[in-house]
Amino acid sequence: MPHGLLKGKRGIIFGALDNKSIAWKVAERCAEEGATIVLTNAPAAMRFGEINALAEALKCEVIPADATSTEDLDNLLTKSMEILDGKMDFMLHSIGMSVNVRKKKEYTDLNYEWMKTTLDVSAISFHKLMQSAMKLDAMNEWGSILALSYIAAQRVFPDYSEMADAKALLESFARSFGYHWAKKARVRVNTISQSPTVTTAGSGVKGFTDFFGYAEKMSPLGNASSLACADYCVAMFSDLTRMVTMQNLFHDGGFSSMGMAPELLEE
């Protein structure tokens, strides 16, 4: 049931590719809670994704932007302020892609040119977005900026490969830039570390289906769904979480605190 938690707020949501995308659910929930939003994704994703159907359903605009291009980000932020008639109150970075994982390169045999692209798309784009937004003065006071992360930033999950390092960098940017945003405009910056979720990016990781089942058993509450993640994002964009910043917040049904789950021994 909607609570009007984001009434009057404006935001930009990156990364809704299809209806399995976490960002898709976040966009739907933000609209339900009264926010006005702009959707964005990489120009290539416009061709094979379904973002236009979401925009039609939510009656909002789509502005293509490659999140690694500061020019595209500047254009996105400037146009969003025009369309929504004001500065942003929230932004969601929901972007991840590993070239080495896609091309099945092992972690001990990485192609470093591909790794640069992985880090640029999955982590440095977050810094670029925050830097562009700060230069353009695009965020309202007490705004909220979020990116989505994964626990492989802290613990070893071998098949997650270089994405683990990309997520560690992403979380570090939330802390480091979070300081500057807090001082400049009391804007908070956090990452949400989400359970494995069945999406295009998630399913690209080797052994994802088996691991999804393992995490489901390891987490006392089970894996957090994308809809539950969207609810958490809404809470983080709302005025109820104004003093939470520079954190990596686990949204994982308890997985990150577990050492051993008896359920897994019973097999």
Ligand X SMILES: NC(=O)c1ccc[n+]([C@@H]2O[C@H](COP(=O)([O-])OP(=O)(O)OC[C@H]3O[C@@H](n4cnc5c(N)ncnc54)[C@H](O)[C@@H]3O)[C@@H](O)[C@H]2O)c1
Q: How far is CA 223 from CA 118, 124, 193, 214, 252, in A?
A: 26, 28, 12, 10, 6
Residue whose beta carbon is closest to ligand X: 202
Which range binds ligand X by CB under 6 A, 1-9, 147-155, 176-184, 258-266? 147-155
Angle between helices 112-119 and 163-185 (to 10 degrees): 30
Minimum CB distance to ligand X smaller for 90 or for 150: 150
Q: Restricting to residues 81-110, name those near ligand X by CB under 6 A.
A: 94-97
Structure tokens at 157: 């999950």
CB 19 within 8 A of CB 85: no
Minimum CB distance to ligand X smaller for 42 or for 81: 42
Minimum CB distance to ligand X smaller for 111 or for 140: 111
Which range binds ligand X by CB under 6 A, 4-12, 29-37, 134-142, 146-154? 146-154
Minimum CB distance to ligand X smaller for 41 or for 248: 41
Q: Restricting to residues 211-250, name those near ligand X by CB under 6 A.
A: none
Q: How far is CA 231 from the centre of its chain?
A: 13
SS3 102: helix
Minimum CB distance to ligand X smaller for 115 or for 148: 148
Longest dimension (CA), the chain: 58
Single out the residue of 11, 28, 29, 66 in contact with ligand X (rule: CB under 6 A).
Answer: 66
CB 111 within 8 A of CB 117: no
**Does residue number 131 form part of the binding site for ligand X (CB under 6 A)?**
no
CB of 201 to ligand X, least distance (A): 3
Minimum CB distance to ligand X smaller for 69 or for 111: 69
| CB-based contacts of 264, cutoff 8 Å, min separation 6 | 214, 217, 218
Q: Restricting to residues 39-58, name those near ligand X by CB under 6 A.
A: 41-42, 45
How many CA atoms within 13 Å lie on the side-chain side of 235? 11
CB 214 within 8 A of CB 170: no
**Does residue number 68 form part of the binding site for ligand X (CB under 6 A)?**
yes
# residues near ligand X by CB under 6 A = 27
Residues in contact with ligand X by CB under 6 A are: 14-15, 17, 21-23, 41-42, 45, 66-68, 94-97, 121, 148-150, 194, 196-197, 199-202
